[in-house]
Structure 1
Amino acid sequence: MDRGTGAADASRVSFRWDSTRPAASPGGFDAFSREWRARLGDGLPLTAFSPATTDDFRVKGRIVKLRDVVLADFRTASPLRTAPAPNGDEDWVQMFLVRRGAWIIDGSSGSGAHTVSGGQFLLRHGGRLADYETAPHTVAQNIILPGGALKPLLGGRTIKGPADGAEVRLLVAHANMVHSTVADLSPAGVQAVRGTLIELAKAVAMRRFDDVEPLLAPALAQAAKDFADRHLTDPELSPTMLARQLNVSVRTLQRAFAATGEPVTAYIRRRRLEEARLALTAPSGLSISELAAHWQFADSSHFNRAFKKRYGQTPTEYARPAAVLPAD
């Protein structure tokens, strides 16, 4: 188990575990529960799990806690089931986002149960932490937030929708960024990313993005980059397309990228050149003109000029040490 961060700064805690490997499975739940209690303490008590879960606990995950916000990612090989928690003085909002499998929330409460299937999210204020069960091989995220900031917006509603909605993508992009940078966050950084997570959860609740909130610009730029990276070969990829996908104006998107020091179009071109460079050394069998077309350059001459400007060599010169490209 990776102990991560948090020993010196209780405002930020992170750890990972993996009990899916055969050698790690025996006692996997005990190791996980000890780590949870040691790292998260009394601020977030560990939910009681059913004996079937504790006997066969094959789960891989990572958790980050930033003051009173918790980000938990799970990949389950075995099913999970918790026991209903007693009512207390907790005041939590939870978001469940399922990529694959299913997450059944308050499954013991009969008609009050909610099933979140792969490709869906659910956001709600439940006061206490919800009891739940998951199907085996579920991939999901659970975001726990303080109730005070979000309860008025939710007004008792349970919000459910597609996981690829614009506001959800922004929240997920920011959460992933937090996981990768938490070890380097200063106290001011912890406060900033915590505030951004809450603002993005508000955007999910309101189904709109506050485009004048400066805290949200990094999350918007990251979500746009994530989408662009998956669509680099799409001829329609552009600032207009990205803005439409993220439900913001082009101007808002451009302002978010301005904070990164790289315009949207420059980012798209750089990433296409990077991928083309990798392709040049792979045995793809594509000619220079075919590579140029694949990565959406107007023609091989345009591709040659852009490549040489960035890497100091033409594509043919760069590829020559590794492979001989077919003639055009």
Structure 2
Amino acid sequence: MHGASVQRESASYAEVTGGDPRPAAYRYAGIGGADAPRLVEAVCANRDLPGSLPGSLPGSLQRAVDHILADPPGDCSDAILTRVAGITLASLRRNFRERLDTPIARFVQNARLDWARERLGNASEMRSINQLSVDLGFAAPGGLTRAYKQRFGETPTETRTNAFRGVCE
């Protein structure tokens, strides 16, 4: 019976991820393998990490983290994350609190802000800050700017300006 439950969990994970059995972090361009723990730490920045993170995350939590990091602007709703993880919302919330010392929503927001910073720091990124804000699900560009400045100590415009300054010099 235990094998059936494992197979059921894998089937729903594969279904949500388009049938690719690899962790989402490995499918995302430039993310995976040895980089995944670094990304988890980066997303959880601005606080001390408890215990032996990373590398000791339960499989269900690792699948949720992989899903978030694979496509931060994508659907990271509670319903999708619980489906990917194969556990209840209460268990997922508890795992995020106990293992990552952060609520799910903050982890998702930090991943999205890191994603925005990566794009804003790339001079070849053609999307406007307003478009990035929409892509990330912020209701207004000011929401991205406030959250971004709180996390990184500079505005998205300043990050973009610095990226272009480096290309022009």
Mapped pair 1:304 → 2:145: yes
Q: State the AA in 1 paired with 2:140.
A: D
Partner residue, 2:96? 257
- Identity across matched positions, percent: 24
Query: Which structure: greater helix fraction?
Result: 2
Q: Which has the higher contact order (CA 8 A, sep 6+)?
A: 2
Please provide the CA RMSD for this pair.
Answer: 3.5
| Shift in Å, 1:160 | 7.0
- Contact 1:239–1:253 (8 Å) recurs in 2: no
Structure of higher CA gyration radius: 1
- Contact 1:297–1:303 (8 Å) recurs in 2: yes
- Contact 1:239–1:265 (8 Å) recurs in 2: no
Pairwise mapping of residues 200-211 of structure 1 onto structure 2 (< 5 A)?
Answer: none
Q: State the AA in 1 paired with 2:68.
A: A
Mapped pair 1:231 → 2:71: yes
SS in 1 for 2:66: helix
SS in 1 for 2:158: helix
Partner residue, 1:290? 131
| Shift in Å, 1:258 | 1.0
TM-score by length of 2: 0.63
Q: In structure 2, how many angstroms separate the alpha carbons of the residues matched to 1:166 and 1:279?
A: 28
- Contact 2:149–2:155 (8 Å) recurs in 1: yes
- Extract unaligned runs of 5+ from structure 1: 1-151, 182-188, 194-216
Q: State the AA in 2 paired with 1:288.
A: I
Change (3 A) 1:318 1:231: closer
Change (3 A) 1:298 1:312: same
Measured against aligned partners, the alpha-carbon deviations of 1:210-256 in whole angstroms (never above 9, x if no partner) come to xxxxxxx632221101112223222x422232012333211010011
Partner residue, 1:240? 79
Name the count of aligned residue pairs. Answer: 130
Partner residue, 1:80? none
Q: 1:321 aligns with which of 140, 154, 162?
A: 162
Partner residue, 1:165? 12
